[in-house]
Amino acid sequence: MNVVEGLRYGRKVLLEAGVENPLLDAEVILSHVLGARRMDLYLEPQRELKEEEIKTYKALIEKRSSRIPVAYITGKKEFFTLEFFVKEGVLIPRPETEFLVEEVLSRISNIKTPKVAELCCGSGAVAISIAFFKKDAMVYASDISEIAGEVTMLNAAKHGVEDRVRFLIGDLWQPFEKEGLKGFDVVVANPPYIPSNELENLSPEVKKEPKVALDGGPDGLDFYRRIITRVPKFLKSRGSIVLEIGNNQRERVCSFLKKECFEDIRIIKDYSGFERVIAASLHAG
Ligand code: GLN
């Protein structure tokens, strides 16, 4: 089996399994096995694969055909131009979440040594991107999952920001409360926001991701209530909150924010035109 034959094989198996982009995924998996870049495959299409390579490749194609996400198979995902390590047990960073990072960076760009808190940090992609692109920021990232802590610190070390990203384990504000951490310039979160009864409609791939990272309770808004009602206590005067939201959640999340005296509410749409990020600042005084 050579490279082209390998790709043809992978594409066919994945197509039959109902995978959305069978050729692309076969390319990603084969280049992962060969330790090459995807474009390299087409530089040497006739290259014969070694027996060991074929064995590994076929096993991974099999895994993918059981609808395990590609990122869990390769153990990596690109986010905000950086490569992050991911594994089962943490949510795979989504491209639309990059808008969250962009908004935080623009809010802290003129602040010297800003202090940022991230709740529900998962793989740490958001916290680490912020620390990486704002070199004097200190980021406190929390999550209830131990795997999230492990993956976040691995990623922080990978990008050389482990001295400016601190992981705190616990439920939302609880670790901040415990350690008396407050006075943040920005609080950012991409909490679970899918309404519980919609979880069953997710794609087979998303169903392989941790439910604890997706399930937002009966109306999907549980975490926004719990984050927003307590956030003023942890923010500086005029500090900001930046949240990722689910479809059709803008109005209700806005009303939570207004109740806690947030103003200058800004909505950012994602690549598909959905209102995806909501940002606001705390009223002074
Ligand atoms: N955007 C994710 C999805 O559609 C959900 C992420 C979340 O709940 N925070 O799978």
Look at residue 34 in the predicted model and tell me its pLDDT.
97
Look at residue 284 in the predicted model and tell me its pLDDT.
82
* Ligand 1 pocket, residue 242 CB under 6 Å: no
Domain match, 275 and 136 both: yes
CATH of the domain at 39: 1.10.8
Per-residue confidence band for 86, with pLDDT thresholds at 50, 70 and 90 = very high
Count structural domains, the chain.
2
* Ligand 1 pocket, residue 212 CB under 6 Å: no
* Of residues 259, 256, 58, 69, the one with CA closest to residue 278: 256
* Ligand 1 pocket, residue 249 CB under 6 Å: no
Domain match, 123 and 198 both: yes
Domain match, 149 and 266 both: yes
Domain match, 179 and 131 both: yes
Domain termination residue (choose one: 38, 66, 94)? 66
* Ligand 1 pocket, residue 193 CB under 6 Å: yes
CA of 229 to the centre of ligand 1 (A): 22
For residue 71, tell me if it sits in a domain.
no
For residue 218, tell me if it sits in a domain.
yes
* Token pair for 163: 């001295």
Domain match, 42 and 179 both: no
* Token pair for 21: 């982009």
**Is it the case that residue 104 has pLDDT exceeding 80?**
yes
Domain termination residue (choose one: 66, 90, 112)? 66
For residue 83, tell me if it sits in a domain.
yes
For residue 153, tell me if it sits in a domain.
yes
CA of 244 to the centre of ligand 1 (A): 9
For residue 73, tell me if it sits in a domain.
no
Q: What is the rounded CA–CA span in Å between residue 276 and residue 120?
A: 17
192 is in an annotated binding site: yes
Look at residue 158 in the predicted model and tell me its pLDDT.
98
Domain match, 90 and 62 both: no
* Ligand 1 pocket, residue 214 CB under 6 Å: yes
For residue 72, tell me if it sits in a domain.
no
CA of 47 to the centre of ligand 1 (A): 40
Per-residue pLDDT tens for 12-51?
Answer: 999 999 999 999 999 999 999 999 999 999 999 999 999 9
**Is it the case that residue 285 has pLDDT exceeding 90?**
no
Domain match, 251 and 163 both: yes
CA of 98 to the centre of ligand 1 (A): 13
Domain match, 19 and 158 both: no
Domain holding 15, by residue range, is 3-66
Mean pLDDT (the chain, rounded): 97
For residue 33, tell me if it sits in a domain.
yes
Look at residue 61 in the predicted model and tell me its pLDDT.
98
Domain termination residue (choose one: 44, 66, 88)? 66
Domain match, 251 and 171 both: yes
Ligand 1 atom 7 nearest Cα: 192
Q: What is the rounded CA–CA span in Å between residue 79 and residue 81?
A: 5
Per-residue pLDDT tens for 168-223?
Answer: 999 999 999 999 999 999 999 999 999 999 999 999 999 999 999 999 999 999 99
CA of 76 to the centre of ligand 1 (A): 18
CATH of the domain at 134: 3.40.50.150
Domain match, 106 and 137 both: yes
Per-residue pLDDT tens for 49-72?
Answer: 999 999 999 999 999 999 999 999
Domain match, 44 and 163 both: no
Which percentage of the chain shows pLDDT scores above 90?
Answer: 99
Domain match, 154 and 93 both: yes
* Ligand 1 pocket, residue 190 CB under 6 Å: yes
What value of ipTM does the predicted structure carry? Answer: 0.93
Which percentage of the chain shows pLDDT scores above 70?
Answer: 100
Please compute the mean of the pLDDT values over residues 220-249 and round it to a whole number.
97
Record the pTM: 0.96
For residue 74, tell me if it sits in a domain.
no
CA of 192 to the centre of ligand 1 (A): 7
* Ligand 1 pocket, residue 277 CB under 6 Å: no
112-116 contacts at long range (C-beta below 8 A, 24 or more positions apart): 112/136, 113/137, 113/138, 114/138, 114/185, 114/186, 115/140, 115/183, 115/184, 115/185, 116/140, 116/184, 116/185, 116/186, 116/187, 116/188
* Ligand 1 pocket, residue 199 CB under 6 Å: no
Please compute the mean of the pLDDT values over residues 228-253 and round it to a whole number.
97
